[in-house]
C-alpha cells in the first residue's frame, strides 16, 4: 500500500513556494493597473459579487493554485463530502450539514439511508411547535403565552444562532414577525451571564431551549440545571414540561434530564457542532423568534451556495477561490491572521461565529493520516464591523503587520437613514469606507506622494503606507434571511476547501479535550475542599497556590 503523502511533498506545492518569491517582488499598486487581470478576478453567483483582484496573485498564481487543488483531490473530496462518506475519519462520521438545507425532494444518502426525509420531519415538527408557541396555543404552566425564549448552549450550539439572530433583528420583515417577542442566549457558565440572560424575564412567559449536541457539555448542563431551578422555584417542578424543550442528538440524556422527549428536537451525528446552525440548533430558537417561513429562506440561501459549491468550475466557484487564496496567504505568504470586516452592524456576530468555525476546524498540527505537518494551517480569525474597527485595530492593519482582510458590504441597507441636510445617506457613508479601505491597503502611500503633498519631511516616515496588503471584497445585494444563509455557507465551504487542500481533518476538534479534562479535575478538588474542607492536591505548585488563594476569597 502506498504511504500517505503530504500535500507539501508534491511538485505543485514546491512550484507555489518558488512562485511566492516572484510575487513578493510585485506590488498591488502595479497589479491593480492591469485591467484584464482585474476583470478575471471577480466572480458572481446568485447576487453575490466577490472581487479578489486585491489578492497578491496573478493569473499564473491562480493556475498554479488550481493545479494544487487538483493534486489535493479537492473535487473528489467535495464529492465524498456530498455523498455522505465518513470523511471525518477520526470520529468515523460523515459531514453532511448540506443535507440540513436541502430541498424536500432531494436525496442525500448517509450509510445507505436518505437523510432528507429525516431532516424535513424535524423541520415540520419545528414549524408546528413554533407556530403553536407563537400563536399562543401552547401556553405556560399558568396559562400565559410564552413570548420570551432563552436558548442555553455554547460553542457551535450558540454562536451560529446568535449571529443569525443579530443579523435579522432589525430587518424590517423579520422584526415585524418578532414583534413582542425576545430571544436571549445563555452560553457562559459565569453567573453574570446567567443573571443577564434572565434579568427582567418572567418564568411564566419564558420558554427555555437547551441546545447541546452531546447533552453532556459541562457549561450547558449547569446552565440548564440553573434555569430548570429558576422555573421550578417560581412555578413548581411540573411546569418544566411546558417551559423547557431541548435540541440534541442524545435524546436519552434529554429525557433523563427531565425534558419530555416529545419536546425534543433531534439532529444527527453527521452534523458537526460548529456546522449546526441550519439544524434544530438554530432553526428552533430562530423560528420561535421570527417564525418558520423566514428561517426557511435562510436555509434556501445556504442551499443556493451548496449547489454552487458543488457544481461551479473552480475558476467560478466562490468558496473554492476564497479557500485557495486563503491557503496562499496563510501558508505560502505566512500571514497568520485574517480580519473579517463586515460593513454592516447587523453582522456584528459574524466574525465570532466564523472564528469558531474556522479555528476549531483548521487549527490542526497533523494531517488526516496523523502525520505531523511541516507547514502552518488555520488562521487567527477576528473582526469587527466597519467603521468601528477602523477606529480600533486598523492602524496595525495599515502600517503594522500584514493581515489579509475580508471586506463584506451590503448594497441595500436594512435601515436606510437620510438626514435632510446630508447629500448621502448613513449607509452611503458607511459604504464609502467599505470601498475606500481595500484600496488604501492595496496602494498605500509613498514618500514621493507625501512630498508632493508638502508633508513635513520628519513626518514622512510616519505617514508612509507600504501598501501591498491583500483583501477580498464581498458585495451582497441586501441582508435578507436568504443572503445571510448564503454568506454562512460561503464561509463554511471556504473553510472546508482550506482543510481539504492542507490535507487535515477539518471536522474533528480533539484540541478542546485536554482543557476540559483538567477542568474536571479542578472541579473535583474544589468540591472536596468546599464540602469536606480537604486541601487541594494533585496540582503543580503554581496551580495549587492559585487554587488556595481562590478558596480563601470567601473568608476575606
Ligand atoms: O468547543 C467544543 C465543542 O465540542 C464544540 O465543537 C461544540 O459546538 C461545543 O463544544 C458545544 O457542544 P454541545 O453542543 O455538545 O454542547
Query: Contact 69/502 with Cβ under 8 angstroms?
Result: no
The residue contributing the CA closest to ligand 1 atom 1 is: 155
Coil/strand/helix, residue 234: helix
d(CA 131, CA 145): 12
- State in Å: Cα 289 to ligand 1 middle: 23
Kindly give the number of the ligand 1 atom that is closest to the alpha carbon of 153.
Answer: 16
At the topology level, CATH places domain 100-297 in Rossmann fold (3.40.50)
398 is catalytic: no
d(CA 347, CA 357): 16
- State in Å: Cα 212 to ligand 1 middle: 7
Query: Contact 471/405 with Cβ under 8 angstroms?
Result: yes
Kindly give the number of the ligand 1 atom that is closest to the alpha carbon of 219.
Answer: 16
What are φ and ψ of residue 453, in 5° steps? Answer: -85, 10
Query: For domain 15-82+312-412+438-505, is the CATH number 2.50.20.10?
Result: no
- State in Å: Cα 217 to ligand 1 middle: 7
CA distances from 319 to 41, 380, 533 (A): 14, 19, 56
Helix orientation angle between 191-198 and 218-235, rounded to the nearest 10 degrees:
50
d(CA 501, CA 545): 45
Cis before 387? omega within 30: yes
d(CA 29, CA 442): 6
d(CA 82, CA 162): 27
Task: Tell me what pLDDT residue 556 has.
Answer: 41
- State in Å: Cα 216 to ligand 1 middle: 9
77 is catalytic: no
Quick one: how far is CA 507 from the chain centroid?
A: 14
H/E element, 405: strand 405-410
24-77 pLDDT, tens digit per residue, is 999 999 999 999 999 999 999 999 999 999 999 999 999 999 999 999 999 999
Task: Tell me what pLDDT residue 421 has.
Answer: 76
Percent of the chain whose predicted confidence (pLDDT) is above 90 = 96
Q: Name the residue of 90, 93, 153, 156 whose CB sits within 8 Å of the most ligand 1 atoms, as the mutation to test its pocket.
A: 156
Ligand 1 pocket, Cβ-based, cut-off 6 angstroms? 154-157, 212-214, 217, 220, 273-274, 360, 509, 512
Catalytic pick among 391, 462, 524, 534: 391
Indicate the DSSP class of residue 99: G
Query: Contact 60/19 with Cβ under 8 angstroms?
Result: yes
Catalytic pick among 45, 147, 204, 360: 360
H/E element, 514: helix 513-532
Quick one: how far is CA 347 from the chain centroid?
A: 11
d(CA 300, CA 481): 9
Kindly give the number of the ligand 1 atom that is closest to the alpha carbon of 281.
Answer: 14
Query: Contact 413/343 with Cβ under 8 angstroms?
Result: no
d(CA 412, CA 393): 27
Residues 512-547 as b or e (16 or more Cβ within 10 Å = b): eeeeeeeeeebeebeeebeeeeeebeebeeeeeeeb
- Residue found by looking up cell 450509510 in the block: 111
List all residues 6 or more positions away from 420 whose beta carbon is below 8 Å from its beta carbon. Answer: none
Pinpoint the alpha helices (H) of 24-84. Answer: 28-31, 35-39, 59-71, 74-82
Catalytic pick among 516, 524, 534, 537: 516
Smallest CA-to-CA distance from 7 within 368, 507, 380, 492 is with 368
How many CB atoms lie under 10 A from the CB of residue 123? 23
391 is catalytic: yes
d(CA 151, CA 247): 10
- State in Å: Cα 273 to ligand 1 middle: 6
Coil/strand/helix, residue 396: helix
DSSP secondary structure letters along 311-332: HS-GGG-HHHHHHHHHHIIIII
pLDDT in tens, the chain (556 residues): 566 689 999 999 999 999 999 999 999 999 999 999 999 999 999 999 999 999 999 999 999 999 999 999 999 999 999 999 999 999 999 999 999 999 999 999 999 999 999 999 999 999 999 999 999 999 999 999 999 999 999 999 999 999 999 999 999 999 999 999 999 999 999 999 999 999 999 999 999 999 999 999 999 999 999 999 999 999 999 999 999 999 999 999 999 999 999 999 999 999 999 999 999 999 999 999 999 999 999 999 999 999 999 999 999 999 999 999 999 999 999 999 999 999 999 999 999 999 999 999 999 999 999 999 999 999 999 999 999 999 999 999 999 999 999 999 999 999 877 777 778 889 999 999 999 999 999 999 999 999 999 999 999 999 999 999 999 999 999 999 999 999 999 999 999 999 999 999 999 999 999 999 999 999 999 999 999 999 999 999 999 999 999 998 764 4
Amino acid at each position: 500500500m502506498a504511504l500517505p503523502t503530504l500535500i507539501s511533498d508534491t511538485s505543485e506545492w514546491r512550484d507555489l513556494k518558488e512562485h511566492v518569491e516572484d510575487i513578493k517582488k510585485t506590488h498591488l499598486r502595479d497589479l491593480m493597473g492591469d485591467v484584464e487581470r482585474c476583470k478575471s478576478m471577480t466572480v458572481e453567483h446568485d447576487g453575490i459579487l466577490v472581487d479578489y483582484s486585491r489578492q497578491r496573485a496573478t493569473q499564473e498564481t491562480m493556475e498554479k493554485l488550481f493545479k494544487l487543488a487538483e493534486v489535493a483531490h479537492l473535487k473528489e473530496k467535495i464529492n465524498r463530502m456530498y455523498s455522505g462518506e465518513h470523511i471525518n475519519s477520526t470520529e468515523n462520521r460523515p459531514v453532511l450539514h448540506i443535507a440540513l438545507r436541502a430541498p424536500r425532494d432531494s436525496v442525500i444518502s448517509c450509510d445507505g439511508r436518505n437523510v432528507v426525509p429525516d431532516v424535513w420531519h424535524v423541520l415540520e415538527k419545528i414549524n408546528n411547535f413554533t407556530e403553536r408557541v407563537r400563536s399562543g396555543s401552547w401556553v405556560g404552566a399558568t396559562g400565559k403565552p410564552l413570548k420570551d425564549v432563552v436558548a442555553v448552549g455554547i460553542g457551535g450550539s450558540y454562536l451560529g444562532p446568535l449571529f443569525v439572530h443579530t443579523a435579522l433583528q432589525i430587518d424590517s420583515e423579520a422584526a415585524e414577525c418578532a414583534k413582542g417577542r425576545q430571544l436571549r442566549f445563555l452560553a457562559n457558565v459565569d453567573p453574570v451571564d446567567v443573571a443577564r440572560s434572565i434579568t427582567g424575564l418572567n418564568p411564566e412567559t419564558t420558554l427555555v431551549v437547551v441546545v447541546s449536541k452531546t447533552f453532556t457539555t459541562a457549561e450547558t448542563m449547569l446552565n440548564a440545571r440553573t434555569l430548570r431551578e429558576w422555573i421550578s422555584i417560581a412555578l413548581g417542578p411540573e411546569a418544566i414540561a411546558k417551559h423547557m424543550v431541548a435540541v440534541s442528538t442524545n435524546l436519552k440524556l434529554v429525557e433523563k434530564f427531565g425534558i419530555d422527549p416529545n419536546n425534543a428536537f433531534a439532529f444527527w451525528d453527521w452534523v458537526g457542532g460548529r456546522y449546526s446552525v441550519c439544524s434544530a440548533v438554530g432553526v428552533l430558537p430562530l423560528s420561535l423568534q421570527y417564525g418558520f417561513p423566514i428561517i426557511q429562506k435562510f436555509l434556501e440561501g445556504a442551499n443556493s451556495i451548496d449547489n454552487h459549491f458543488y457544481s461551479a468550475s473552480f475558476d467560478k466557484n466562490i468558496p473554492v477561490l476564497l479557500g485557495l487564496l486563503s491557503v496562499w496567504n496563510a501558508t505560502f505568504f505566512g500571514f497568520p491572521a485574517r480580519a473579517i470586516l463586515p460593513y454592516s452592524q447587523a453582522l456584528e456576530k459574524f466574525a465570532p461565529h466564523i472564528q469558531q468555525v474556522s479555528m476549531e476546524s483548521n487549527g490542526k498540527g497533523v494531517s488526516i493520516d496523523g502525520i505531523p505537518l511541516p507547514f502552518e494551517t488555520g488562521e487567527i480569525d477576528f473582526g469587527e464591523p466597519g467603521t468601528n474597527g477602523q477606529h480600533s485595530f486598523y492602524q496595525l492593519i495599515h502600517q503594522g503587520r500584514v493581515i489579509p482582510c475580508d471586506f463584506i458590504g451590503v448594497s441595500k441597507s436594512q435601515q436606510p437613514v437620510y438626514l435632510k441636510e446630508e447629500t448621502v445617506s448613513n449607509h452611503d457613508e458607511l459604504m464609502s469606507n467599505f470601498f475606500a479601505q481595500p484600496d488604501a491597503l492595496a496602494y498605500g502611500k509613498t514618500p514621493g506622494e507625501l512630498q508632493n503633498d508638502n508633508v513635513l519631511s520628519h513626518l514622512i516616515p510616519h505617514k508612509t503606507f507600504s501598501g501591498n496588503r491583500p483583501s477580498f471584497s464581498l458585495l451582497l445585494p441586501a441582508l435578507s434571511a436568504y443572503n445571510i444563509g448564503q454568506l454562512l455557507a460561503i464561509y463554511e465551504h471556504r473553510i472546508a476547501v482550506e482543510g481539504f487542500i492542507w490535507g487535515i481533518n477539518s471536522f474533528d476538534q480533539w484540541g478542546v479535550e485536554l482543557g476540559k479534562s483538567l477542568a474536571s479535575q479542578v472541579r473535583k478538588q474544589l468540591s472536596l475542599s468546599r464540602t469536606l474542607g480537604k486541601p487541594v492536591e494533585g496540582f503543580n505548585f503554581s496551580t495549587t497556590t492559585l487554587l488556595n488563594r481562590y478558596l480563601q476569597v470567601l473568608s476575606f
